[in-house]
Every structure is written in structure tokens, then in C-alpha cells.
Amino acid sequence: MKIKLGQPLSQATLAEWGFENGQARHVLAKGEFELRMTMSDQELELVVYDLAMEEPYTLFEVASASGALVTALRQQVDDILNRILGQQIQDNPLVEALVEYVATTYEVAPAHPFKRHPEIIGFKVPEVDKLFGIILPVNYCQIDKASSRNDQVLVLNLKGKPDQILGRIDNDRYFPAYHMNKKYWISIPLDGRVEDDLLFGLVAKSWALTKK
């Protein structure tokens, strides 16, 4: 399993999880298995290793595989991964501020709505169980088609009225939504180019539209 991150893990996070030379190991299932993690640039690779067989546990990678053992392993790995990704929020002041704003204003905590993409953070309106905001890592050139930049950035997808979205897109601070319906969603890089107050105002509008 390979996870693309929107930013490198901080040195403090790497140290806390025991990374040395980009690698770390954690015991699973009472010592019978091991989670081996490799950090390269902005990509985290996870491999569950069967210690008795001295080889990767391939069933972990099979989506259709079920049973008590593979389910327990997935739960343990998900827990570790979510804790690491939770620390990534703390490593980005703007994301941390956004999470705090949503929690304070709407009493909504960040979640990971897509099991196959745990690096994606989502915010839902509880009453209708629908997403009103999504934070995800993308290659910059995927949102700015005219750019040759290939580094990863975190973007925030928000809902808006079609006419307002059309008028706001400038391909500098606001872009057509990545992986969402471009008529109703917009993508905003979380790199400080949009002021916090303006960003929070757009979050409020997205919440209101989603709650209807």
C-alpha cells in the first residue's frame, strides 16, 4: 500500500514513529506480523510482513480478502496510519487552523471517508451525512494545467453555487475542483495564498449549501 502525502512528515513525527533512514517497523498481531513503513519524498509505503513465513502477507493487499486475522491486521494498520496522518494535520498550521475552525463552529471532527485513500480528510454535515469539505494531496500540475510544477500540495475542495464558482476561478488562488463535479465544487491550495478569514467564509457557505 502506497500513500501520497500532501507534505513531508515532520522530523518530530518521523522520530516519534521510530523512522531511521526513512524506515520504521511496528509489531502487529501479538508479534506474529510486522508493519514495515518506508518514507520516500512525500510517499509512505506500508507492507505487512509475516514473520513466521519471512515474507509479505499478500492477503492484506487483497481487497476481497476477509476473515478474523486479516480484518484485525487492517484495523491495526488503519489505526497506526490514521494517527500518523492526524499528526500531519498538526504539522500544517493552516490545516490545523481549518480543523479547529470547523470543530469550534460546527462541532465536526475530521474523518477519513475513503478507506482506500486514508490520506484524504473529509468534513461532513451530520444531519444529512454529506461532505461539505475535503482536504487531499495532489500534484500541483493536476489543478493548474498550465504549470510544470509536479510537487504535491494540499488542496481544499468546497461546495459553491455554480455562478459564484465560475466567477471566482482565477487559476491562481481558486481552481476547478479536482476529482469533484466542477460545476458545484472548487479547489483551493492550502498554502496561505487565500487569507484565513476568506477561507473560513467559503467553508461556511459550503456548509450552508450542503445542509439544505
The pLDDT tens digits for 125-170 are 999 999 999 998 888 888 988 888 777 788 999 999 999 999 999 9
Q: What are the phi and psi torsion angles at 16 (to 5°)?
A: -60, -35
Tell whether pTM > 0.75: no
- What pLDDT is attached to residue 88? 67
- What pLDDT is attached to residue 112? 83
- What pLDDT is attached to residue 142? 87
Higher-confidence residue of 95 and 38: namely 38
Read off the pLDDT of residues 52-108 as tens digits, 9 standing for 90 and up. 999 999 999 898 998 999 999 998 998 888 778 767 666 778 888 999 999 999 999
- Cα torsion 106, 109, 113, 117 to 10°: value is 130
- What pLDDT is attached to residue 89? 65
Q: Contact at 8 Å (CB) between 57 and 71? A: no
Burial class (CB in 10 A: 0-12, 13-18, 19+), 98: buried
Q: Taking each helix axis from N to C terminus, what angle separates 68-90 and 93-106, rounded to the nearest 10 degrees?
A: 100
Q: Contact at 8 Å (CB) between 88 and 5? A: yes
Distances (CA, A) of 169 to 103, 105, 163, 174, 186: 27, 26, 10, 5, 8
